[in-house]
Amino acid sequence: MGVFLFDEMIFGPVRSRRLGVSLGLNLLPTYKKVCSFNCIYCECGWTGETRPEAGKIPNVEEYRLALTAKLQQLQGTDFEPDSLTFAGNGEPTLHPDFAGIIDITLALRNQFAPKATVSVLTNGSMLHKKEVADALKKVENSLLKLDGGTEETIRAINGPAKAFNLRAYVEQLKAFNGRLVIQSLFLRGQHNGVAIDNTTDQEIDAWLKLISEIKPAKVMVYAIERDTAAHNLVKLPKDELEQIAQKVRQLGIETEVFA
């Protein structure tokens, strides 16, 4: 299976199934993945490094100049973005100047693309750092990962660091006071001879309890879209995702399905 990497710091705009016309912002190296998780379904392949090397990531001034030029180029065109989206080759909040970059992005957005939202796709692994949590609370669209209802399942799917604690993570998500989106990918399959399934009744019930605690503004339920790091994973059909989504809607939480 192929590995999907972004080869630019600023890429697109692309038409995102979740965010509309999305200008991608990659704060990580353009030639490899750097992430604090090692998700079995990751389109960027397996994690090789968990921290970005100094000198191999954009500095604040490089980022400011590049984003200014791109937004000026797109301003007033059909490609003016709906979202400035931090995604890229791994976990964006690992950048040591992430909080400052968020401030720069918000200021440039206000100047050149005031109708756009700022979105961050993050696994939430850096929420223990106050400056990261505060920065994520500033943007309109913080999309945080929750792919299971039990720590065992999250470890099997997402491969977080040993220090990961699900209860602590849920408390960090609750601190957003509902100003966040939860992204949850559902799958079945096998990895290293072990069956993995976050769609069982037990798993869904546990996940729903956490969602009801977190009380996000929205939940995004989605399936595998591209090639995955692990083999033998099953892309779920839309009707099955809709059944999961309907259980969230019964909690009074807006839910979208992306199949």
The string of pLDDT tens digits covering residues 203-237 is 999 999 999 999 999 999 999 988 899 988 999 99
pTM of the model: 0.93
Percent with pLDDT over 90 in the chain: 84
Report the pLDDT value the prediction gives residue 6, as an integer from 0 to 100.
Answer: 80
Distances 154 to 10, 39, 149, 198, 219 between C-alpha atoms, Å = 30, 9, 8, 9, 17
What domains sit in the chain, N to C, each tagged with a CATH number?
A: 10-258 (3.20.20.70)
> Omega of the bond prior to 160 within 30 degrees of 0, cis?
no
Task: Tell me the average pLDDT across 118-138.
Answer: 98
Per the DSSP assignment, residues forming a β-bridge with 49 are 34
Between residues 57 and 6, the one the model is more confident about = 57
Q: What is the pLDDT of residues 34-75, one digit of tens each?
A: 999 999 999 998 998 888 887 789 999 999 999 999 999 999
Dihedral sign, Cα of residue 208, residue 213, residue 217, residue 223: negative
Asked if residues 136 and 175 have their Cβ atoms less than 8 Å apart, the reply is no
Which pair of tokens denotes residue 115? Answer: 């109708």
Q: What is the pLDDT of residues 79-100, one digit of tens each?
A: 999 999 999 899 999 999 999 9
pLDDT band at 170 (very low <50, low <70, confident <90, very high): very high
Judged against a pLDDT cut of 50, whether residue 186 lies above it is answered with yes
